[in-house]
Amino acid sequence: MNKTININLGGFFFHIDEIAYEKLRRYLNSISSSLSDDSQGRNEIISDIEARISELLSEKIKDSRQVVSESDIEDIIVIMGQPEDYSEPEASYSEPNFSQSKNNATGKKLFRDGEDKFLGGVASGIAHYFNMDTIWIRLGLLALFFGAGFGILIYSILWILLPEARTTAEKLQMHGEAVNIDNIEKKIREEFTNVSDSVRSAAHHASDKIKDGAHEFSEKIGQTFSGKKKKNNGLQDFINTIEKIIRIFFKIFGKFIGFLLVFTAATVILCLIIGGFSIGSFEFLNIESNFISYPDFFYAATLPRWMLTISLLTLIGIPFLILLVLGLRILSSNLKRFSKTASLTLLGIWFIALLIVIFTAVEFGTNHSNFGKYVQKYPLKIASKDTLVLKIRNDDAIHYQHNLKRNSKKHEVEVNGNLLIYTNDIHLNIKRSTSNAAYLIIQKTSYAASSAKARKSAEEIKYEYTIEKNNLILNAFFLTDLKNVFKDEEVEITVYVPEKTIIYLDNSVKKFLSDVKNKTNMYDGDMANHHFKMTNTVLTCTDCNSTILEEASL
């Protein structure tokens, strides 16, 4: 029975038995001893080796409860190599195939190269993967951008999906080199050499800046007077120019997007503020405003209208406020982002507004889910020898209509101090009575959360008519409560007359007749201003000339 130990290797935790731990510890100590004569980059080399060992162990250990055994460590040592194999690193570096002959290669992987990047290092990473010059990949992306327009999309997707090669092991994998002690040490030494050369070059450049500037100035003067110019690499100059143009283009495009966000968001927020103050002023002063159209679910809502208005404005305004700040940050990097407290507060307010609007919308949908109707029957005391005249009239004191006709448009009106809805959705029909008496059927329809409530709502619809001698005068409108504005309420009127009754249709009913059956199939609009006699089935015209009858029969 072996004792297990918990270790942290390369930022990952592993359960390892005691024998395997001792073997791994001796292996890492021997590597450290082999590097003791070179202190430059020693800690970084050890850190990268541990990270690589941790990566290999993670591939072997799929379950976090699994224990690393001695055989696992031996497999890792075979892949990484023995420290004594690299006692003379300079000699081994001169042999290109040395590492591959002693160690297993990891295979080439696709990364973004952060050390050779123009934007995100995508082109250079692809170039490393296919062993190509980076310039050709960049030219290909530019051709896709200017030719088909897909270059920027492809580059953006790859920028998001491809990880950047940050560790030494990832950089080796990007170049297709084996991740072992020899290559890790070689890579880190090269990086330190490059850094030293860069610092030395910068210092040399700073010390010779004045002398170089004077020399360049004198050289340009000499070229000007001699008419000679220094020969340059034309392709490189062209590429540098293209890179500058693209860099400027992206900056301008980014600023344009920022300006567009700021302009759009500011416009919407300003409109919301003005609209909110306007609606609030009308509500506070109790002023009728026909030009303000509320959403459907505002009517018949349990919550007050001012609360719904604020919630709706908040629901729209907060996302555009975030877009406004985002656009300003694109235009100016000095602008600070929202604090965590402010962000959570805005999110909470927006979420509350969303819940209020959802609750009201669900309530609205529930109140329109069931159909109900209310039917009333009224007798018409008209002598059989009299001609029944049908008329429709409007009450201009309630709402004036210049062109009186059937339509479902709703108008908010005030009657006896109460706000009601006025509409001309009236359907008029004429049918044969099953008895010897004439009567009137008025059917009102509405919608509500239940059939009983819908019937109750339909019963409350206000519709009137009058009888003056032999004239049946019907209202061209009906009134209903303001909360029922979007319930699709209707009033259907059917006049039942016995056989042989004569009916005259006044011109006012012309646009309210609804599919009135007649013997010659005349259109409803053509039946006005004519006398009709009820037969044993349908109406027949008694004063229509032959031309009208022929047109109706066609």
Tens digit of pLDDT for each residue in 304-344? 777 877 888 888 888 888 888 888 888 776 667 777 888 88
CA distance 149 to 141: 10
Alpha-carbon separation of residue 248 from 77, 199, 242, 464 (angstroms): 51, 29, 10, 74
Query: Distance from CA of residue 355 to its chain's centroid?
Result: 19
Residues in the chain, overall count: 554
Alpha-carbon separation of residue 256 from 246, 261, 266, 328, 415 (angstroms): 15, 9, 15, 11, 55
Encoding tokens for residue 357? 């609007």
Q: What is the mean pLDDT of residues 252-273?
A: 84
What is the predicted pLDDT for the residue at 216?
54
**Does 391 score more than 90 pLDDT?**
yes
**CA neighbours closer than 13 Å in the CB half-sphere of residue 344:** 3
What is the predicted pLDDT for the residue at 293?
55
Query: Distance from CA of residue 15 to its chain's centroid?
Result: 46
What is the predicted pLDDT for the residue at 390?
93
CA distance 254 to 165: 26
Tens digit of pLDDT for each residue in 441-476? 999 998 887 788 888 888 999 999 999 888 999 999
Confidence of residue 363 (pLDDT cuts 50, 70, 90): confident
CA distance 173 to 161: 17
Confidence of residue 251 (pLDDT cuts 50, 70, 90): confident
What is the predicted pLDDT for the residue at 222?
52
Confidence of residue 243 (pLDDT cuts 50, 70, 90): confident
What is the predicted pLDDT for the residue at 87?
46
**Does 428 score more than 90 pLDDT?**
yes
Q: Nearest-CA neighbor of 392 among 490, 464, 479, 481?
A: 464
CA distance 492 to 467: 18
Percent of the chain residues topping a pLDDT of 70: 69
**Does 528 score more than 60 pLDDT?**
yes
Confidence of residue 299 (pLDDT cuts 50, 70, 90): low
Q: What is the mean pLDDT of residues 384-401?
A: 88
**Does 403 score more than 90 pLDDT?**
no
Alpha-carbon separation of residue 378 from 224, 424, 465, 489, 490 (angstroms): 110, 21, 10, 21, 18
Alpha-carbon separation of residue 213 from 203, 386, 452 (angstroms): 16, 117, 95
CA distance 69 to 15: 9
- Given the structure tokens 């009450």, which residue do they identify? 395
Q: What is the mean pLDDT of residues 388-417?
A: 89
Query: Distance from CA of residue 400 to its chain's centroid?
Result: 45
In the DSSP assignment, the letter for residue 103 is: S
**Does 107 score more than 60 pLDDT?**
yes
What is the predicted pLDDT for the residue at 274?
78
Tens digit of pLDDT for each residue in 61-97? 776 667 888 888 888 787 777 666 544 444 333 334 4
CA distance 259 to 250: 14
Domain boundaries, the chain: 4-102, 112-164, 256-366, 371-553
The lowest-confidence range among 16-20, 76-80, 370-374, 508-512 is 76-80
CA distance 463 to 374: 12
Contacts of residue 456, defined as CB under 8 A and 6 or more positions apart, other chains included, come to 372, 448
Tell which wins on pLDDT, 443 or 401. 443
Tell which wins on pLDDT, 98 or 500. 500
What is the predicted pLDDT for the residue at 317?
87
CA distance 522 to 525: 8
What is the predicted pLDDT for the residue at 509?
92
**Does 419 score more than 60 pLDDT?**
yes
What is the predicted pLDDT for the residue at 225?
47
Amino acid 226 reads S
Q: What is the mean pLDDT of residues 259-274?
A: 84
Residue 384, Cβ neighbours under 10 Å: how many? 12
Average pLDDT, whole number, for the chain? 75
**Do 386 and 472 meet the contact criterion of CB atoms below 8 Å apart?**
no
**Does 284 score more than 50 pLDDT?**
no
The lowest-confidence range among 21-25, 142-146, 286-290 is 286-290
What is the predicted pLDDT for the residue at 203?
52
Tell which wins on pLDDT, 64 or 108. 108
The lowest-confidence range among 8-22, 182-196, 300-314 is 182-196
What is the predicted pLDDT for the residue at 191?
58
Tell which wins on pLDDT, 455 or 163. 455
